[in-house]
Structures are given as structure tokens and as C-alpha cells.
Amino acid sequence: MIHIAHLYYNLLNLYGESGNVKALKKELENQGLKVSVHFLTIDDELDLEKYDFVYIGAGTEANQKLIIPHLNKYKDIIKKEIEQGKFYFITGNAINLFGKYILDENENKIETLGVFDFYSKQESFRMVDESVMKCNFFSKPVIGFQNQSTVIKDNKYPMFEVIKGIGSYPKSINEGIKYKNFYGTYLIGPVLVRNPELLKYIIKKLVKSINPKFSFKKFDLHENEEAYNNFVSEFYQNII
């Protein structure tokens, strides 16, 4: 049984980001694996050691502030788990939760988990764009949508190189965070639905970490792949 924790499912779920968890569960089950998704929020005690995979999605700034005191209670165990290689997949502005602090619109520092040394800053403007990224762990570009009002500074572990889009801040050449089995990106969409190669990569890494001898069936992601190829062909054929 693979256990997935979907944290703050009812508060951090803008743009249908729960689709990332649904896609992950569906494809794991298509591989013949049993999967249990645990929906957890600020009323719950988080026994994070129980889970193989932790997901947090995008939310409003107000809802993000609401969950921070609850999440910060678990900062020590979260840091420990990430260092030990637990899988964390984080999308949208939830990535801000893993830096040292968020500097809000009134220049107030909101302490966050401090897993990484970066900080986030709330801007007076909003950055909106369809984006294309490349990474060094598989060959196909990653596509997604960015709609953010915060920027990240001092990030030492970027996940993507920007081909088209905003990056971690306007005109940045990098985006996201990849450290061990922590994957964080501002890209929404949901990103695992829009990028079948990324979905397969995450599933293979996760399953192999649990059972190195697991034999995978052929993935059937024809519709996802067709949508991906059509989008790239129509919008980005002169870029990539």
C-alpha cells in the first residue's frame, strides 16, 4: 500500500490542483498498486512519518496564512524527512512555505518552515504566463501555467531552466526547487496532468524507492500525451 498525504486539501486547492493527486493515484493503481490518499487539514494531527508521499497545492494568500501556524508545528520532522529522501511534491505558491519567511505586502515577515534558505516576497503586481521549462532529469520540456504574486529569492536548488515564462521572479532563468526527492514549482495546470513524462518520472522514482525490484507495466497516457503534443505544437513549435 502506498500512502499519499494531501495536506490542506480544502484550503490550498486553487486551479484544480487536486488533479495532481488524482493523476498520481490513478496511474499508480494502473500499475497494480494499492493506494490510499489521506486528506488532512488544520484540524488534524499530522503524523507525517506514516506517508510515502506528501502533496501541497496552491491557495489564496489568506488561506496560506491560515495554515502556516499549523504547518510550522511540524517543521522539524518535515526538515528531517526531506533530508532522508521522503517525497514531497509542492505546486503553486505552496512552494513559499518551505523557505525561511514570506515578506508580505506590508513588509511583515511571516516565518515559514525554513527547510531551504530562500525567502519569498509578496509583490504589488501579478505575474501571469504560459510557461515552458526544461530540466536535467528527463528530456521533454515541462509546460504549465504561472499566476503568481510572490517571487522567490536566493534559491540554491532550482528544478527548471526557463525556456519561456516568468521563472522564480521576472526575467529569472530558473524556476522551482529540486532537492533529493523534494519537487516544488510555481507551475499549475495541474502540472502532473499536463506533463505525462513528469508524472511517469515521479511514479517510477516513488515506487522504486519502496520496491527497487518492481516491474512496471507500459503506461497508458495516450490522452495526456496527445494534449501535451498538441499544445507544444500549436504554441511553442518555434521555441523548443
* Structure confidence at residue 180 (pLDDT): 97
Grid cell digits, residue 73: 508545528
pLDDT tens track for 197-217: 999 999 999 999 999 999 999
Range of the domain at 30: 2-236
Mean pLDDT of the chain: 94
> Measured between alpha carbons, how far is 191 from 58 in angstroms, rounded to an integer?
12
pLDDT tens track for 166-182: 889 888 999 999 999 99
What predicted TM-score, i.e. pTM, was given to this entire model?
A: 0.95
CATH number, domain with residue 46: 3.40.50.880
> Measured between alpha carbons, how far is 119 from 125 in angstroms, rounded to an integer?
18
pLDDT tens track for 19-72: 999 999 999 999 999 999 999 999 999 999 999 999 999 999 999 999 999 999
Give me the number of domains the chain comprises.
Answer: 1
Q: What are residue 90's phi and psi, to 5 degrees? A: -130, 130
Buried b (16+ CB within 10 A) or exposed e, 36-68: ebbebbbeeebebeebbbbbbbbbebebbebbb
